[in-house]
Amino acid sequence: MITDGLDVVGFGEAMVLMQPPIGADLRSSAQLGVHVAGAELNLCAAVARVGLAAGLCSRVGADPLGERVADHARALGVDTGLVLVDPDHPTGLFLKDVRPDGERRVHYYRRGSAASTMDSADARRLLAARPAVVAVSGITAALGPGPLRGVRTLLREARAAGTAVAFDPNLRPALGDLDGQIALARELLASADYLLIGVEEAEAILGTADPAAVFRAASAAGVGETVLKAGADGCYHADGDRIVHLPSAASTVVDPVGGGDAFGGGYLAARLRGASPAGAAWLGSRLAAGVVAAAGDTDGLPDGATARALLARVVPRKS
């Protein structure tokens, strides 16, 4: 059953993540923590945590890992009515090391996964639910020809369906053909109502890492609204014609993975509730700070009451 009234729906793959304790490595650790992760799910978890309605459009295998993904998404408050169970393909899996010096090593086992078989039909299932925003990343487009067709369908048909598009390039060298990912990101910019882009990605896609130049280049490419994520240096957002720097709210960094997704979820949720770009960036930064202070991709999100109170601080009061 397709759920109506969703604020944000992510289009992408959620996988099971296994990783050793911080400081241990895959080669020698006797224990692995089991988590669920995926850029779009992480973003939607942040949206749901602040009190908006979020959903995931994806495919999982008819296996225990697929059940775990769906259970975890629901536990995060993310609707799974748009997640199909594929009896012929497995759920994706990846392994991660986070070393004491901060180095990350990621090993993917997602080739031939259920989500890699997504196609335009999945995109149209999503649009039929008429969410306010669809969040999509370059990761999904890089999973294979079917997901790429799905992403292109979404971006081509979203506006006619009354759905805005939030695009995060999320360049991933581990998925291969980085030049192809960059070229595709440039192609998709004109369809983005919201662009959530990192500094290094901006350098590769827009040819500059200078914040003011990034915003100019994105606007010239057809982007509606841009926010520039700068990692430990915080972010940059627009304030009319001014580009404003917001320092990071993070004081402790255990694992940076998931921080950008939490930022994006907070930013989109706040904008949907009428917050200014400055307020939306503030909320995104607060959510990201909690996530990077914990080992899991969403474990550091604040509890629901705290998250909703943070959102309330940036949403204009009704007169």
Show the tokens assigned to 37.
């992760």
* DSSP per-residue string spanning 86-126: ETTSPPPEEEEEE-TTS-EEEEEE-TT-SGGG--HHHHHHH
Q: Catalytic: which of 7, 168, 261, 297?
A: 261
The one-character DSSP state at 216 is: H
Contacts of 125 (CB under 8 A, 6+ apart): 2, 57, 82
Q: Check if 261 is active-site.
A: yes
Contact call for residues 118 and 136 (beta carbons, < 8 A): no
Show the tokens assigned to 34.
């089991």
Show the tokens assigned to 226.
């841009």
Could you tell me the strand order of the sheet in which 78-86 lies? 78-86, 54-61, 8-11, 133-137, 164-168, 194-198, 225-229, 235-239, 242-246
- As to burial, measured by CB atoms within 10 angstroms (0-12 exposed, 13-18 middle, 19+ buried), residue 18 is middle
Q: Which residues are catalytic?
A: 261
